[in-house]
């Protein structure tokens, strides 16, 4: 069997940063054979910078790829949602071209797997020919309990279409969009339908989300009015967003909570305790560039670290990001919080994401028998490239 050998200034295994003396050995297809030190023979490919496993993007909306540079930045979440909902009609060919470019960009800059929000079926064709592995979150929005059962049937049917079209390495699960767009019965039915699955939800992306549920105020009221709704989907609970929606879940799920830009410490403590007591795995997904684009604010990353939260990274979509690159997300965090160790950032980008999507048996780290992809990364996070 022919082997491929790789050596760099540093080798990140998924767990730790090793020095130059370590050589990664894979077979020709990229399956990890070993990491060796000392005499590794000839034909070692040399790199400056870091070699690491393929990146895992835990939050994207491939369907929104055609919105690149089309939604104004810095206007807040309710404005952003209105812009997405009111986006001018785009023909299918342009959507497909944009999705193909987004897919290519992600693959080339080192992303090997993506957790992708799907509201419709039209990303299937791109995913059929993609080199990326897709976890498809079929995202429900539904404001009326009376329509909940029918919506869940519709989305389960869509889930079956994804399953039939895509390779068995992909996955599909229903997921709620966010607390402000999902009715109580819809939450309960999603809980029933997703036993032991990884699901996702947009959480506390703006301050108005908490205001809506603590005291029934904030900009979401105007948003509901603009779409012809008189009332909110869930009643005012007197509690924060996460303290209101999380108790709908108790079915062994891994829940990737996306953004968490406005999650205060008391909510982190509540959520982690609730998860522990109810057999859930909580994952905090950071999309810093999207947060800076929409709300011009970063989530409280230092608090998530202090409370041992399980952290992963996502790009969000071209609607709210100028590139789809986990490297750029790491760069944004490193720029604002330079004290976070590099190995910690690299683990968020790889092994943690693979675990969140339940794909760590194959992806996320250099361990014998896995095929996680090999990515070269510039030390200053300015560039990354898929090697194998």
DSSP annotation of 182: B
Distances (CA, A) of 382 to 52, 138, 326, 385: 15, 33, 11, 11
Chain-centroid distance of CA 216 in Å reads 29
> What phi, psi does 348 have (nearest 5°)?
-60, -35
Q: How far is the CB of 56 from Zn ion (least distance, A)?
A: 16
Toward Zn ion, which CB reaches closer, 77 or 387?
Answer: 77
> What phi, psi does 175 have (nearest 5°)?
-150, 150
Task: List the one residue out of 259, 316, 246, 320 whose CA is nearest residue 285.
Answer: 259
CB burial of 226-260 (b: ≥16 within 10 Å; e: otherwise) equals eeeeeebbbeebeebbbbbbbebbebebbbbbbbb
Toward Zn ion, which CB reaches closer, 13 or 175?
Answer: 175
Toward Zn ion, which CB reaches closer, 57 or 243?
Answer: 57
Closest residue to bound Zn ion by CB: 316
Toward Zn ion, which CB reaches closer, 84 or 340?
Answer: 84
Please, which residues bridge with residue 7 across strands? 46
Q: List Cβ neighbours of 78 (8 Å cut-off, separation of 6 or more).
A: 206, 208, 219, 220, 222, 223
d(CA 158, CA 152): 10
Instruction: Show the tokens assigned to 32.
Output: 């990890």
Q: How far is the CB of 65 from Zn ion (least distance, A)?
A: 13
Toward Zn ion, which CB reaches closer, 63 or 316?
Answer: 316
Toward Zn ion, which CB reaches closer, 26 or 315?
Answer: 315
Q: How far is the CB of 183 from Zn ion (least distance, A)?
A: 20
Instruction: Show the tokens assigned to 323.
Output: 């590139």
Q: How far is the CB of 287 from Zn ion (least distance, A)?
A: 7
Footprint (CB under 5 A) of Zn ion, residues 291-350: 316
Q: How far is the CB of 265 from Zn ion (least distance, A)?
A: 24
d(CA 332, CA 344): 14
Toward Zn ion, which CB reaches closer, 209 or 316?
Answer: 316
Q: How far is the CB of 25 from Zn ion (least distance, A)?
A: 38
Instruction: Show the tokens assigned to 304.
Output: 């998530």
Q: How far is the CB of 178 from Zn ion (least distance, A)?
A: 9
Task: List the one residue out of 238, 243, 275 whose CA is nearest residue 256.
Answer: 275
Footprint (CB under 5 A) of Zn ion, residues 124-183: none
Helix (H/G/I), strand (E/B), else coil: 198:
strand
Q: How far is the CB of 117 from Zn ion (least distance, A)?
A: 6
Toward Zn ion, which CB reaches closer, 208 or 316?
Answer: 316
Q: How far is the CB of 89 from Zn ion (least distance, A)?
A: 21
Task: List the one residue out of 27, 99, 14, 87 whose CA is nearest residue 359.
Answer: 14
Q: List Cβ neighbours of 112 (8 Å cut-off, separation of 6 or more).
A: 53, 54, 55, 56, 132, 133, 363, 372, 373, 386
- Using CB under 5 A as the binding criterion, the count of chain residues that bind Zn ion stands at 1
Toward Zn ion, which CB reaches closer, 63 or 103?
Answer: 63
Toward Zn ion, which CB reaches closer, 201 or 330?
Answer: 201
Answer yes or no: are the C-beta atoms of 257 and 198 closer than 8 Å: no
Q: How far is the CB of 258 from Zn ion (least distance, A)?
A: 6
Residues that bind Zn ion (CB under 5 A): 316
């Amino acid at each position: 069997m022919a082997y491929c050998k790789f050596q760099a200034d540093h080798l990140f295994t998924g767990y730790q940063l090793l020095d130059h003396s370590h050589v990664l050995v894979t077979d020709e297809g990229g399956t990890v054979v070993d990491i060796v030190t000392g005499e590794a023979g000839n034909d070692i490919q040399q790199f400056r910078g870091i070699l690491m496993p393929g990146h895992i993007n835990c939050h994207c909306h491939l369907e929104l790829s055609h919105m690149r540079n089309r939604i104004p930045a810095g206007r807040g979440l309710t404005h952003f949602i209105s812009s997405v909902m009111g986006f001018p009609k785009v023909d299918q060919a342009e959507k497909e071209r944009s999705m193909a470019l987004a897919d290519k960009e992600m693959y080339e800059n080192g992303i090997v797997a993506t957790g992708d929000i799907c509201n419709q079926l039209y990303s299937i064709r791109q995913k059929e020919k993609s080199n990326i592995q897709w976890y498809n979150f079929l995202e429900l929005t539904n404001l009326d309990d009376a329509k909940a059962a029918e919506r869940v049937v519709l989305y389960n049917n869509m889930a079956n279409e994804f399953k039939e079209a895509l390779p068995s390495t992909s996955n599909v699960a229903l997921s709620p969009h966010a607390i402000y767009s999902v009715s109580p019965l819809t939450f309960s039915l999603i809980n029933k339908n997703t036993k032991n699955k990884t699901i996702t939800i947009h959480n506390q992306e703006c301050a108005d989300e908490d205001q809506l549920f603590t005291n029934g105020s904030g900009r979401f009221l105007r948003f509901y009015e603009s779409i012809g709704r008189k009332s909110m989907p869930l009643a005012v609970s007197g509690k924060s967003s996460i303290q209101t929606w999380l108790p709908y879940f108790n079915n062994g799920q891994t829940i990737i909570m996306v953004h968490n830009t406005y999650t205060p410490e008391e909510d982190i403590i509540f959520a982690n305790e609730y998860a522990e007591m109810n057999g859930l795995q909580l994952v905090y997904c950071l999309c810093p560039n999207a947060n800076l684009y929409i709300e011009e604010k970063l989530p409280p990353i230092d608090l998530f670290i202090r409370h041992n939260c399980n952290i992963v990274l996502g790009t969000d979509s071209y609607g709210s990001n100028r590139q789809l690159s986990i490297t750029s997300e790491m760069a944004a965090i490193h720029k604002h919080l330079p004290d976070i160790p590099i190995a910690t950032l690299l683990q968020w980008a790889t092994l943690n994401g693979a675990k969140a999507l339940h794909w760590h048996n194959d992806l996320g780290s250099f361990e014998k028998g896995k095929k996680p992809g090999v990515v070269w990364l510039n030390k200053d996070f300015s560039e990354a490239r898929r090697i194998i």
